[in-house]
Structure 1
Amino acid sequence: MHPEGPGERGESGVNNLTRIAIGAAAVAALVLGVLFGPGVLDPDRSCAAGVERPEGSEECIGVSATGFDFGVGEIRDVARAIGAENARVAKEGGLAVSVAVMMPFSATAPEQLTKMRHELQGVYIRQLLANREEGRPPRIRVLLANTGNLGLHWESVTEQLVGMADDPVPLRAVTGIATSNTVTKQSVGLLSRHGIPMVGSTITADDITDIPGLARVSPTNTDEARALVAHATSVDRNALLVYDTQPMDNYARTLREAFDQQLPDQVYDARPFTSSGEPDDPGNLGNVFNSIAHYICDTEARTVFFAGRHTPLRVFVSELGRSGCAERGFTVFTGDEASYLGQDELLDRAALEQRPGEKRPRVVLKYAALAHPDSWVASSGHTPPATGGSEAAFRRLESALSEVRPEIGENTLHDGQTIIGYDAMATAVQGIRRATGASAAVPALGDVTAQWPHFTGSLRVEGASGWICLDTEGNPRNKAVPIVRLTGDGSLGFEGFSWPDGKPPPEDCVYRKG
């Protein structure tokens, strides 16, 4: 960003967005619906251009180019802002392509809705920077693709996206793709078969990888586990693993497998549980975790590694903090899903607080974050590493967010979702523009996906979360992993970096054999 104040930039400056009346998005919806939207839908089931209610459902499902919010108030402001920017792209004309954000926007879990709003804010900010500051073709139109609660309408939405590859403003990448589960894997597989380039934002499961056309900006669960174990210097053979056996949850399963690899000689048997598969439904886990807490008290364990989603984690931390041996003091390590708990009002925060007469909190909860706003900013207690990322890259996002916040709502960045959504969009834009080169034509789909293996060395993505140096399978190599601690007051405090390879990347991000 630039140091000038408001009004001191040209018309390309991000802060000029504040001059756009978001109320004009309604007119934009009509214009874009005619110019770019899919065909006329059944008026009895239609929600907006490209979006309708499937038989037997009241959810608005489909793909919108107009900033339609699918009836979800949580994303309304940022969706309208995206619609307004899309309208500006259409009005100005010239070479333009579409990038779709595919998510279950009409999910019912409150924490999931907040996460999606934050991630969509990051996408929007990167769209603005691409269109207003960088001045390179093609311009970027953002599509919102709602797969419905639990992603159950993934197939129809994915097929709709495939059909948009030949639109007047053609689809050239899909991002979002945020949940590591069976539905996401199926959707990614279908997009891959049709040659659609993809950039996963928060998917970390190891078995959603090496898929043609897919790049990711978040570390794999294996890399998260390596970083956590490296950070947990006091881990001994008494450390114990608690894991989810939910068959549809690729995140929990591959995180468990990754912890198993990093903890091969543990004394105690791991403790299983089975979640409901619903993001905010704990089912009977209170009783299950009460029993597991009793087992832990029978051991000498002080460290627990947890492979599961945020709702089971919330219940587990609460039960462990109430256990008869809680004064022993436990440290729980887990994956990035823990970021949801910062805003979870149902968490028993007393479990994370130090009580009078006790030497430490009953439970210390640390997790491998995807991003954190304090990671690359120097402070009295933290000097960022010389490689792996930069403060300048983060400050660019932070500055843009401060300018558009009145249009898209509050955001503290601490859950990392805006940062990682921004970086996924940055990767998609870089792939599209490098495939376009000096030509005045829309790049072929295959030319975009061909860029992913080359995003390393000097062509790395300078992400706000850190360098994104992709390997030949589309995964970020040795990506910076911030270790974050959730405290009793709900704050998400940055504890320091850990690296999957045990050290930061080389200064040129080029890895040499041997």
Structure 2
Amino acid sequence: MADRLRYRVWFTTRQKIVTTVLALAVLGTGVGYVVDRATTPEDRSCARGVERPAGSAECVGVNGDGYDFGVPSLTEVARAIATENATLTSDEYATVALLLPLTSTDPGMRVKVQHEVQGAYARQYRANHASNSETPRIRLVLANTGKGNAHWRPTVERLKTMTAAPDRLRAVSGVATSSTEVRQAVASLTGAGIAVVGTTITADDIANGPGAGNNRYPGLARVSPTNSDEAKALAHFGKVVAARALLVQDTRTGDHYTDTLKTAFAASLKGAPYEPQLFTSPPDPTDEGTTANTFRQITHLICDTRAETVFFAGRHTQLRQFINALGARGCAERAFTILTGDEGSYLGADLKLDRKALKTRLTVRYASLAHPDAWQPSPGRPVPRTGGSAAAYTTFVADIARASKTPVPLADGQAIIAYDAMATAVHAIRQATPDGKHYPETADVATQWPQVKGSLRVEGAGGWICLDNFGNPFDKAVPIVELAQDGSQRFVQIAWPEGRPPAASCLPPRRG
């Protein structure tokens, strides 16, 4: 009886029709969904001006509305920037973009990025609230190039569309790593007539210079000394005897920081009796790789020499590995000093650094780009009469306090140098603004750098910024910093590329 009933329910002519219609409806809905998904572009937006490139989960692009790019350490300062930007009316501002790998996963880079954004915001606030109502006011936006600057191209292309209203982009700052991607980004921006102010790029070949064909980046200025200037400052400071020194260098090419640093160090070691000790870092130098094994072997060879000073040309991950290895050397009775470039500033926050290595008669010193103690007088260490001032640094300290509810760490120098780069960008924008106008033409900002010197210099928190005709800082103060035994970054003294502070006039001499 049950079978007959089931048969009549499901297999009558009427039920067959109903069942068929329902099945087709369900099938049609599924097909429609698939077709709709296949023909409707995927929404890859993250925020206004920001989206995920094809094949990537990173959010890259440009935003000044408080978006933190998914990085919690940037949330507070991104919101502060948005609050400041919201006070500006549409016809009174020019925009400065801060171009950085905001979504880097490297712990050291994340700290660097956070401090640079805080320093830039602090100077934006001063420009808008403590400059006698000078115009234009300054709008700040964050521009993310992604981990390793891999997505620099779409972000730079977006910036190049922002020179007209309502953005009126007039300068790009940040530009903080001496890599091939950053060199390409700088070339693209300056090629489009946009002024660029590098914060911590130090590679000699991401710069302009005298001679035909050396003006590859028209409109580029830098507030950090070149690697050559860092090396000269270290040499003047250390009075290194070449006969008792050697060079440890990375063989990986294409890294402009490392390539130019080892060239500069080699020039300081003419006549040294030992050939360089070589290692090869991974393609991404923030990876650990296998270089620690190589450094264990290199320390044996160093013990075989009469060297006392070791110049290190490499990135911070490998520098940390080398310090750890040298701390465990067999010739523990011998003292060594490691001298390196500004990548040493990452070491203070590096949790993988073996602090015990610093207690084995091993001294680590590096050429910093800025340090909070450099322009603060102390007993037996007066502030130089030229090249910078305690007053400029004191102003910075008051400004940076607004950037965070908790004190911003300053020992790595990143907030200071970003503040000074922003000050330089604001200076050029306002110098280029004609009387009676609210803001300058884009091309006029990029031509300002040859006049940033003498009485028109920028009084930076990290020292005077006097640019030569090619946009490079002349005789910029180089704080020599020592990694203390507890891992803190102890200021030693200011060194100078020219061997002494600049004259009060701060006018670069004729070159080449």
**TM above 0.5, one fold?**
yes
Work out which of the residue numbers 117, 121, 128 in structure 2 matches 1:124.
121
Equivalent residue number for residue 257 of structure 1: 263
Equivalent residue number for residue 223 of structure 1: 229
Equivalent residue number for residue 442 of structure 2: 445
For the 8 Å contact 1:95–1:440, the answer to whether it is kept is no
Structure 1: distance between partners of 2:231 and 2:225: 10
For the 8 Å contact 2:401–2:407, the answer to whether it is kept is no
The letter of the residue matching 1:336 is D
For the 8 Å contact 2:401–2:408, the answer to whether it is kept is no
The letter of the residue matching 1:178 is A
Q: What displacement does 1:263 show?
A: 1.3
Normalising by structure 1, we get a TM-score of 0.88
* Partner SS for 1:365: strand
1:312-364 alpha-carbon deviations (Å, 9 max, x no partner) = 000000101101013201100000000000011100111112xxxxxxx4310
Equivalent residue number for residue 458 of structure 1: 455
Equivalent residue number for residue 480 of structure 1: 477
Q: What displacement does 1:236 show?
A: 3.2
Q: What displacement does 1:403 show?
A: 4.0
Equivalent residue number for residue 107 of structure 1: 104
Q: What displacement does 1:380 show?
A: 1.0
Segments of structure 2 that go 5 or more residues without pairing to the other structure are 1-39, 209-216
Question: Would the alpha carbon gap of residues 464 and 84 (structure 1) be closer, same or farther in structure 2, given more than 3 Å must change?
Answer: same
The letter of the residue matching 2:349 is Q
The answer to whether residue 425 in structure 2 is matched with residue 428 in structure 1 is yes
Q: How does 1:60-459 map to 2 (within 5 A)?
A: 60-90=59-89, 93-134=90-131, 135-210=133-208, 211-353=217-359, 361-406=360-405, 409-459=406-456
Farther off after superposition, 194-203 or 484-493? 484-493
For the 8 Å contact 1:109–1:279, the answer to whether it is kept is no
Number of residues of Structure 1 aligned to a counterpart in Structure 2? 463
The letter of the residue matching 2:192 is H
For the 8 Å contact 2:249–2:262, the answer to whether it is kept is yes
* Partner SS for 2:113: helix
* Partner SS for 2:86: helix
For the aligned residues, what is the CA RMSD? 1.5
Structure 2: distance between partners of 1:226 and 1:321: 27
* Partner SS for 1:191: helix
Equivalent residue number for residue 27 of structure 1: none
Question: Would the alpha carbon gap of residues 223 and 189 (structure 1) be closer, same or farther in structure 2, given more than 3 Å must change?
Answer: same
The letter of the residue matching 2:68 is D
* Partner SS for 1:99: strand
* Partner SS for 1:127: helix
For the 8 Å contact 1:86–1:142, the answer to whether it is kept is yes
Farther off after superposition, 189-198 or 225-234? 225-234
1:381-440 alpha-carbon deviations (Å, 9 max, x no partner) = 31011000000000001012234431xx43121110000000000000000000014232
Normalising by structure 2, we get a TM-score of 0.88
- Identity in percent: 51
Structure 1: distance between partners of 2:42 and 2:199: 34
Segments of structure 1 that go 5 or more residues without pairing to the other structure are 1-40, 354-360
* Partner SS for 2:247: strand
The letter of the residue matching 1:379 is S
Question: Would the alpha carbon gap of residues 506 and 447 (structure 1) be closer, same or farther in structure 2, given more than 3 Å must change?
Answer: same
The letter of the residue matching 2:205 is D
For the 8 Å contact 2:122–2:399, the answer to whether it is kept is yes
Q: What displacement does 1:279 show?
A: 4.4
Q: How does 1:34-49 map to 2 (within 5 A)?
A: 44-49=43-48
